[in-house]
Structure 1
Amino acid sequence: MSDMKELTKAEEQIMQELWEMGGGFVKDVVERLPEPKPAYNTVSTIIRILETKGFVDHESYGKSHRYIPKISKEEYKKIITGKLLHNYFDNSASSMLSFFLEEQQLGIQDLDEILHIIQRNKK
């Protein structure tokens, strides 16, 4: 799966809804998208592209299709994070963490949480 293509912004927006719902019909996705609502055909086309890319599968109900994520949000997160680490931080998790710590202006609670995670994984 690591050679899987990244999602475009529009595809990711639709995948977020499918992940949230666990699957659904095109009309369900359209209903959940913010105003101004995209046309039904636009959403339908993007979902078919997602199916071609291997992100989505479908179940047939007569003439309509219910679309189901083939890849979980967690799996996609791992792929994207891996690419980010490889392409921008020379596979160095500490470089990536240091970048986020410096750039994000994290608050004390964020830093506390990060330290807890580090402690938990220090075994």
Structure 2
Amino acid sequence: MEKLTTKEEEIMQVLWKLKKAFVKEVVAKLPYPKPHYNTVSTVIRKMETKGFVKHEAFGNTFRYYPAILKEDYSKLFFSNAIQNYFENSYKNVVSFFAEEEKISANELREIIKIIESKK
């Protein structure tokens, strides 16, 4: 499965929250400046072609819903990021966040407790 574009991810986040939605409902939940209805409709149809979204028809109107769970996409996204940017090393990921001061020593201790409790 290919990666979503930034705009697709933004729309997918809305669909994951709403569970099922018509294009106008998606547009309403997007941040300002709001994209045009036709733009969102086109992006959603492309996402459907990629296998991320499905629809149910109500006459000429479609209600869209995610075809992939947010958790499954997150796993795919993070696996690819770790492989491509951190030499497939979770240690490198944690080190990166520690060096960037994005994770505290207390949070690291919590992570260690989680790991040790799995043993």
- TM-score, normalising length from structure 2? 0.90
Q: Does 1:103 align with 2:95?
A: no
Secondary structure, in 3 states, of the residue corresponding to 1:71? coil
* Matched pairs, number: 119
Identity of aligned residues (%): 51
Secondary structure, in 3 states, of the residue corresponding to 1:38? coil
Secondary structure, in 3 states, of the residue corresponding to 2:65? strand
- TM-score, normalising length from structure 1? 0.87
Partner of 2:53: 56
Secondary structure, in 3 states, of the residue corresponding to 2:4? coil
Secondary structure, in 3 states, of the residue corresponding to 1:83? helix
* C-alpha distance in 2 between matches for 1:10 and 1:60: 24
* C-alpha distance in 1 between matches for 2:27 and 2:16: 14
- Measured after TM superposition, the shift of residue 109 of structure 1 is 5.0
Partner of 1:29: 26
Change (3 A) 1:102 1:118: farther
- Verify the 8 A CA contact 2:98 2:104 in the aligned structure 1: no
* C-alpha distance in 1 between matches for 2:10 and 2:105: 31
Partner of 1:68: 65
Secondary structure, in 3 states, of the residue corresponding to 1:59? strand
Secondary structure, in 3 states, of the residue corresponding to 1:66? strand
41-50 or 106-115: bigger deviation: 106-115
* C-alpha distance in 2 between matches for 1:91 and 1:43: 35
Query: Following superposition, which runs of at least 4 residues in structure 1 exceed 4 angstroms of deviation?
Result: none
* C-alpha distance in 1 between matches for 2:67 and 2:102: 36
Alignment of 1:1-40 (within 5 A): 4-40=1-37
Identify unmatched segments of 5+ residues in structure 1.
none
